[in-house]
Amino acid sequence: MTTIPIEVTVNGRSRSLQVAPQHTLLDVLRDDLALTGAKECCLVGECGACTVIVDGSTVDSCLMLGVEADGAVVTTIEGLATGGRLTPIQEAFLDEGGVQCGFCIPGQVISAHALLQASAHPSIAEIEEGMAGNLCRCGCYQQITEAILATAEAGRR
Amino acid sequence: MIGRVGASPQRVGGRGRVTGLQHYVADIRLPDILHAKLVTLDCARARIVSIDTSAAERVPGVRLVMTAADLPQPVPRFGPQFQDRPVLAVGETKYHGEPVAAVAADSRDAADEAARLVKVEYEELPAVFTIEGALDPAAPLVQDAAQRPGDNLAATNVLREHLVGWGDVEATQADLVIEHTYEFPMVTHFAIEPHAFMAAPDGDGIAVWSSIQHPNWLQKVLADILGLPLAKVRVHAPDPGGAFGGKQHAKYEPLVALMARRADRPVRLVLTLEETFQAARRASAKIRVRTGFQSDGTFAFQDIAADYLIGAYADIADRVVGKGSYPGCGPYRVPAARITARSILSNTTPSTAFRGFGAPQVNWAVESNIDAGALALGIDRLELRLLNLARLGEAFIPFDTPADGQWEQVVHRAAELIGWGTPLPAGRGRGIAVGIKSGPTTGLSYATVRLLADGSVIVFAGTSDMGQGARTILAQIASDELGAPLDWVTVVMGDTAVVPYDQQTSASRSTVLMGNAVLDACRDIQSKVRAMAARLEGIDPSEIAVEHGVVRLPGREVPIVDVLKPGLGPLGGELIGNGEMRKEGDPGHPLGGSVAFFEFNCTAIEAEVDRETGDIMLVRHVTVSDVGKALNPLQVRMQDEGAAVMGLGHTLMEHYIFDGSGRIRNLGAIDYRIPTSMDLPLELLSDMVENEDGPGPYGSKGMSEGALLCVSAAVAGAVHEATGTVIRDLPLTPERVWRSLQEGGNG
Amino acid sequence: MRSFAYSRPATLAQAFKTLESGGSDCRLLAGGTDLIIRLRDGSLQPTIVVDVKRIPELRPVIREEAGRLTIGATTVMSEIAADERVRRHFVALAEAAAVVGAVQIRNRATLGGNICNASPAADTAPALLVYGAQVVAIGSAGSRRIPIRDFFVRSGETTLRRGELVMAIELPLPTQRTGSVHLRRTRRRGHDLASVTLACLVDAAGVTRLAFGSVGPRPVLAVDSSGVLADDAADDDAKGVVLEELFATASPSAGSMRASPEYRRAMLRVLGRRAVGIALDRLAGGGAPG
């Protein structure tokens, strides 16, 4: 199997990898880098369980080839908390009850994190629209919105 | 911080979820793993003529290609009710997605390629995939009569008929009779975690990882199929990423276990989302309801005929039909009742347990029919329900557990929150509905609790925490009873080699059954602490009480840990408590046992309809449940609101779409729509009634299914009030609402 | 996914060379939000996937020059939806770009990819049609401009020649006041593929342009020069007659899972009427979105 060399920065760490062209960024993260936070679910860019940040924007990593990440800066859920300390949005998810089974949560937290970076005080409508690409079958949407609002509010003070 | 029962501490296990560090089955990496891929046919039903695996076997990295011929003969069959499902299709595939072969390879790419190269020669056969089709006398049989020996229905596609009733419906006089037929769609669980399975030889036994809800049940199935003693079958059950009933019973674990044994290497199979739609679903149903009313609104009788379309193999579907339809008359005083329910086999995905367990289907029909009666009688829909609602202690199902809650409080609260009776803006409507669901009828949970020398605690409980928060409330119970801060309590679940027996996680039972078992184990430890304190103090144990983490001595009280340390002495050690909660069955009972508790919910909706497009705008969605005692109020709210959102799924947008020959057209996430964050009602409000009148710890009851039960009827009621149109078929898609308005559908 | 070779040309010349030798075994990769789905389900099995994102001439850019707004082929939807010039002059395009999938999709899906994929339901197509966009195509023989109304043939097929790439999409800046809007029908409020997607533009001269997609093999532009639709004084019945004529070319397929032909036709009328109303309001409001 031919592989292509890529250089990619993942969670602040520079990595040199040999990647098969048909492997997605999701495959590379999970299988080559053992970063299993991003999840496999729909694999058609609908559910957002695979959401990561590439060059500052959230993307469905199942719809990006690994080779396309050459030269990119990638942040996954594992890269948010540092030194064991949760970010405010992660704490808020726990405090507001935004977490049930947890399978969609890495994607949700990444999307919420990115949303707040782009818009420090989003309205409920903006949150619901900004988070629509992250499905939650446990139905935590209301609590996730509250977690985002609480984090924005705390940032305001 | 002591995790007081009744508080809402952060979810135990939550940290692993928000950091992405928690491992679900698909995240676990075993060395030397083989990746498996299923081979299925693109049709609903086919006779397998031949399978040529030679090209697949030649793919580099492929280690194993299995068909039915490679399995022990006769091919093992399994299933919780009937052992009808073969490990791989034998001679015929009976539903779109039934696997005919499986490959295992060193890499996923090789497995995918090999699966594509397995050449199956097959002859497509006519399939039945509707109730009418399955009941047609000329219909092909889904299951061979030989698979159903001694069954007088074996020459039909009716698997079982259930009949429950009391009084004499025919002889009961009624001033008004309303009769309609309602339909409930075929929907699937769509847990965000697709089913995942691994198996690995483990010494002279086997180790299996599965997203299973019932690890002990799975252990027994595998022990039977593999011919191993239970002690040599180790089931690891990491927290499932959502299950909702779809992961209760064995699906592909037997196949993966047999493959691991054959290959003598670990084997991993993770389903695609599309494959999960083909692996598990809810039974669809067609329900004819004939309700007799007196002119003052009291119910005279309910005559319900419910046909449920189940899949090609029974799984637990017939139990769903029997148990789900059983309380079909609802939480009301009904003088005479007749409920007939049939499980009808079809060449479709095996239906299985799904939140609500057969009750949402009947609820949709019966509550809608009650609305129709209220309309005809000119009686307010809320008043009519309150008039007939069973009160605490009433034997509303004559030979079963009486009404076990002050349900009218729930209804009043929901009515208050929706503003029932207050003026409505033009173009809006309100609906209100109630639902009950039976809790478990039998059960058995063991728990072991270890109080370690420093006062920290380990709880061993076999419940599956699939998001409902079982781990948290069990930790709260131990924390509260033994006085350990919540972050000093570890809960161990999901390993049959380590955790004692739990029958299952289903029917919202775990708060009551496992909760009581853990409480029992804590009480066991408390009695040992009491004996310890008596010895240390030189007084009689009768002078000492131990409760809520405290030892009450004459004249003073001390935390448990202050007795524990001196009590254990220089050798150290720990105290071990065992607990058990058992609910025995009753062979004479139609359900095999009386109900441990009921889940009761009232849902009220205010909605607006865009008459030109058929869009329903949910202005306010209220859901109130009777929970006894909220051990963790935030988790109760999360479960109820989550169930409400799930109920909106089948109410507004979810359904399988078939082509003319029974093939599923909308596999996957693009054309099977579930609610997103943008599909929430403008306001979603939940509340709870707590009267501490449940059989669980501190008066709690089971909950988490109730808020899904009556969403559809409440929404349809609101749509009717807003537009005058009645729809008896779900989902209420914009197109269906539009069509009903176009056709002037008012019954 | 089946394997393939991956090529990432750094120049147009390299791209043309690869495309020429690879022929029909090549597939172009921009955002990947359509292509990767089809690679995974096997409906496309190219030998070579050619990633066009490093070619300078195709790079993501939105620039105003010589009376037009030029959008580079690999500009993503989220940028288009947020761009202040697009929102001011071409609001229907901003509105369409804002509903292509969810945020994660919009951060990758490109305008060039959306039109080259040529789905009848492509959300940007109706807006591009009413704004009279031009597709700047480039091949080894040079570049040419293709009016957008001549670009779509049927699902998956455009009038691009073999070996041609889309370099940019140009939108002529309006020279008079206009009002425009994009509307669509979906099965839920959350992100979805459209069962009807429609854009409307009314100009100060009283010409109404309606473009619609997902009701036939390709997106279609219809123009009302009679002035009836743009006339506040005209009654609903009169407008209804004109709309019926404009929608006469709609031919929704009977086999769709998303919506029946009757519903699509009915929604076309409903959305058409609503879109005309909103466009007129916006025209009256000074030609800027509300």
pLDDT computed for residue B744 by the predictor: 86
What's the token pair of residue A17?
A: 């990898």
Q: Name the residue among C5, C108, C191 with its Cβ closest to that of A63.
A: C108
Say if the Cβ atoms of B738 and C259 lie within 8 Å.
no
Q: Strand B336-344 to strand B556-559: parallel, antiparallel, or no bridges (unpaired)?
A: unpaired
Residue to mutate among B648, B659, B673, with most C CBs inside 10 A, is: B673
- Measured between CA atoms, the residue of chain A closest to residue C8 is A68
Instruction: Determine the CATH number of domain A88-156.
Output: 1.10.150.120
Closest by CA to B390, choosing from B373, B403, B400, B377, is B403
Q: How far apart are CA C79 and CA C73, in angstroms?
A: 12
> Residues 74 to 113 of A: which have CB under 8 A from any B CB?
76-78, 80-81, 86, 90, 93-95, 97, 99-106, 109
Q: Which residues of A touch B711 (CB under 8 A)?
A: none
Q: Are residues B667 and B556 in the same domain?
A: no
Question: Which domains can be identified in chain C, with CATH numbers?
Answer: 5-51 (3.30.43.10), 56-172 (3.30.465.10), 178-284 (3.30.390.50)
3-state secondary structure string, B662-682? CCECCCCCCCCCCCCHHHCCC
Inter-chain CB pairs, A–B, below 8 Å: 164
**Which chain C residues touch A58 with a CB distance below 8 Å?**
103-104, 107
Cis, bond preceding B74 (omega within 30 deg of 0): yes
- With 70 as the cut, is the pLDDT of residue B144 above it? yes
Q: Let me know whether B427 and B448 are in one domain.
A: no
Cβ–Cβ below 8 Å for C263 and B735: yes
Amino acid identity for residue B528 in this structure: K
Q: What is the mean pLDDT of residues B164-172?
A: 97
**pLDDT mean across residues, chain B:** 97
Give the model's pLDDT for residue B399.
83
Residue to test with chain B: of C1, C40, C263, C271, most B Cβ within 10 A: C263
Which residues have CB under 8 Å from B452's CB, separation 6+? B458, B574
Q: Omega into B423 within 30° of 0, i.e. cis?
A: no
Is residue C99 within 8 angstroms of chain B, CB to CB?
no
Q: Average model confidence (pLDDT) for chain C?
A: 95
pLDDT score for B2: 64
CA angle C182, C188, C189 (to 5 degrees): 60
DSSP letter at A28 equals I
- Residue B178 inside a domain? The answer is no
List CB contacts (< 8 A) between B670 and chain C: 193
Could you count the other beta carbons within 10 Å of the beta carbon of residue B706? Answer: 33
Mean pLDDT over residues B681-687, rounded? 97
pLDDT digits (tens, 9 = 90+) for A72-123: 999 999 999 888 899 999 999 999 999 999 999 999 999 999 999 999 999 9
- Residue of chain C whose Cα is closest to the Cα of B112: C1
| Domain boundary, last residue among B583, B606, B621 | B583
Residue type, A44: V
Task: Write out chain B residues lying below 8 Å of C187, CB-based.
Answer: 653, 673, 733-734
What is the interface size between B and C, counted as CB pairs within 8 Å? 44
Distance CA A149, CA B219 (A): 45
Burial code (b: 16+ CB inside 10 Å, e: under 16) for B193-231 equals bbbbbbbbbeeebbbbbbbbbbbbbbbebbbebbebebe
* Test mutation, A26, A64, A68, chain C, max C CBs within 10 A: A68
* Helices A88-95 and A141-156, axial angle in degrees (round to 10): 130
Instruction: State the CATH number of the domain containing residue B462.
Output: 3.30.365.10
User: How many CA atoms does the CB half-sphere of B176 hold within 13 Å?
Assistant: 18
**Residue B338 covered by a domain:** yes
pLDDT at residue B747 is higher than 50: no
Same domain, B568 and B692: no
With contacts defined as CB-CB under 8 Å, which chain B residues touch C3? 109
Which chain C residues are Cβ-neighbours of B109 within 8 angstroms? 3
Chain B touched by C38 (CB under 8 Å): no
Phi, psi of B164 (to 5 degrees): -135, 140
pLDDT of residue B424 exceeding 80: yes
Per-domain residue ranges of chain A: 4-79, 88-156
CB contact under 8 A, A40 and B26: yes
**Residue of B191, B669, B677 lying closest to A131 (CB–CB):** B677
Q: How many other CB atoms are there within 10 angstroms of residue C96's CB atom? A: 30
Interface of C with A (CB under 8 A): 1-6, 8, 29, 32-33, 36-37, 39-40, 49, 51, 53, 78, 101-105, 107-108, 190-191
A88 exposure class (CB count in 10 Å sphere: 0-12, 13-18, 19+): middle
Find, in chain A, the residue whose alpha carbon is nearest to that of B678.
Answer: A128
Expressed as residue numbers, the domain containing B272 is 32-125+192-243+246-279
ipTM surpassing 0.95: yes
Identity of the residue numbered B617: M
In a domain, B350, yes or no: yes
**Beta bridge mates, C182:** C199
pLDDT at B704 over 80: yes
Given a contact cutoff of 8 angstroms between Cβ atoms, the answer to whether B483 and B563 are in contact is: no
The reply to whether residue A90 touches residue B19, judged by beta carbons under 8 angstroms, is: yes
CA distance B363 to chain A (A): 21
Going along B345-464, which residue ranges are E strands?
Answer: 428-438, 443-452, 457-461
Chain mean pLDDT for chain A: 96
**Phi and psi torsions of B407, nearest 5°:** -65, -30
Chain B closest-CA separation from residue A156 CA (Å): 23
**pLDDT tier for residue B61 given thresholds of 50, 70 and 90:** very high
Question: Quick one: three-class SS letters along A106-142?
Answer: HHHHHHHHHHHHHCCCCCHHHHHHHCCCCCCCCCCHH
pTM: 0.97
Residues B596 and B544 in one domain: no
- Chains touching B (3+ CB pairs < 8 Å): A, C
pLDDT of C286 reads 62
- Helices H / strands E in chain A, number of each: 5, 5
Rounded to an integer, what distance in angstroms lies between the CA atom of residue C5 and that of residue C29? 12
Look at residue B426 and tell me if it is in a domain: yes
Residues 6+ apart with CB under 8 A from C13: C140
In degrees and rounded to multiples of 5, residue B230 shows phi and psi of -50, -40
Question: Is there a contact between A142 and B684 if contact means CB atoms under 8 Å apart?
Answer: yes
Give the chain A residue nearest B191 (alpha carbons): A137
Q: Are the Cβ atoms of C190 and B678 closer than 8 angstroms?
A: yes
Three-class DSSP labels, B205-261: EEEEEECCCCHHHHHHHHHHHHCCCHHHEEEECCCCCCCCCCCCCCCCHHHHHHHHH
Residue A117: CB atoms within 10 A of its CB come to 11
Burial environment of residue B104 by CB neighbours within 10 A (0 to 12, 13 to 18, 19 or more): buried
Cβ atoms of C209 and C223 within 8 Å: the answer is yes
Last residue of a domain, one of B532, B561, B583: B583
Cβ of A21 within 8 Å of Cβ of C29? The answer is no
CB contact under 8 A, C260 and B735: yes
Residue C280 has pLDDT above 80, yes or no: yes
The CA distance from A3 to the nearest CA of chain C, in Å, is 9
Task: Tokens for C269, please give them.
Answer: 């009328």
- pLDDT digit string, tens, across residues C31-42: 999 999 999 999
Cross-chain residue pair A137–B669, CB shorter than 8 Å: no
Dump pLDDT digits (tens) for B201-250: 999 999 999 999 999 999 999 999 999 999 999 999 999 999 999 999 99
C183 neighbors C275 (Cβ within 8 angstroms): yes
* Percent of chain A predicted with pLDDT > 90: 94
| pLDDT for B529 | 97
- Please state, for a pLDDT cut of 90, what percent of chain C lies above it: 92
Q: What is the pLDDT of residues C56-104, one digit of tens each?
A: 999 999 999 999 999 999 999 999 999 999 999 999 999 999 999 999 9
Residues of B within 8 A of A82 (CB-CB) are none
Q: B666 CB near a chain C CB, below 8 Å?
A: yes
Q: What is the pLDDT of residue B745?
A: 62
Record: contact B613-C2, CB cut-off 8 A: no
- In angstroms, the separation between the Cα of residue B28 and the nearest Cα of chain A is 9
The model's pLDDT over B580-593, given as tens digits with 9 standing for 90+, comes to 999 999 999 999 99
For the domain bounded by A4-79, which CATH number is listed?
3.10.20.30
Q: Dihedrals φ, ψ of C104, to 5°? A: -60, -40
Please report whether residue B167 resides in a domain. Answer: no
Distances (CA, A) of B478 to B519, B531, B630, C198: 7, 19, 16, 60
Residue finishing a domain among B228, B256, B279: B279
C197 membership: H or E segment, kind and range: strand C196-203
| Cα–Cα nearest to B166, from B302, B297, B322 | B302
Tokens, residue B253: 């674990």
Domains held by chain B: number: 3
What value, to the nearest 5°, has the Cα angle with vertex B245 and ends B239 and B246?
85
**Residue B146 placed within a domain:** no
Could you tell me if B541 and B627 lie in one domain? no
How close, in Å, is residue A55 to chain B by CA atoms?
20
Query: Does residue B434 sit in the same domain as residue B447?
Result: no
Tokens of A68: 């396309």
Tokens at residue B624, please?
């109130």
- In chain C, residues with a C-beta closer than 8 Å to the C-beta of A38 are none
Nearest-CB residue to A106 (from B14, B20, B466): B20
Neighbours of B511 (CB within 10 A): 35
Q: For the residues of B42-75, what is the DSSP string, one character each?
A: SSS-EEEEEEE-HHHHTSTTEEEEEEGGGSSSSP
Contact B675 C188 (CB under 8 A): yes
Residue spans of beta strands (DSSP E) within C140-195: 142-147, 152-154, 157-158, 165-172, 178-185
Nearest CA in chain A to C51: A68
Q: Is residue C164 within 8 Å of C137, Cβ to Cβ? A: yes
Decide if B513 is inside a domain: yes
Q: Is residue B479 scored above 80 in pLDDT?
A: yes
Give the separation between CA C116 and CA C35, rounded to whole angstroms: 11
- Measure B239 CA to nearest chain A CA, in Å: 8
pLDDT at B576 over 60: yes
For B1-11, the pLDDT digits (tens) are: 566 889 999 89
Residue with tokens 């670990």: B266
Question: Do A48 and A31 contact (CB within 8 A), yes or no?
Answer: no
Q: What is the pLDDT confidence band of residue C232, given thresholds at 50, 70 and 90?
A: confident
Q: Does A150 touch chain B (CB under 8 A)?
A: no
Q: Identify the closest residue of chain B to A86 by CA–CA distance.
A: B19
B142 compared with C233, residue with greater pLDDT: B142
Nearest residue on chain A to B681, alpha-carbon basis:
A142
Give the per-residue pLDDT at C290.
38
Environment class of B83 (CB within 10 Å of its CB; exposed 0-12, middle 13-18, buried 19+): middle
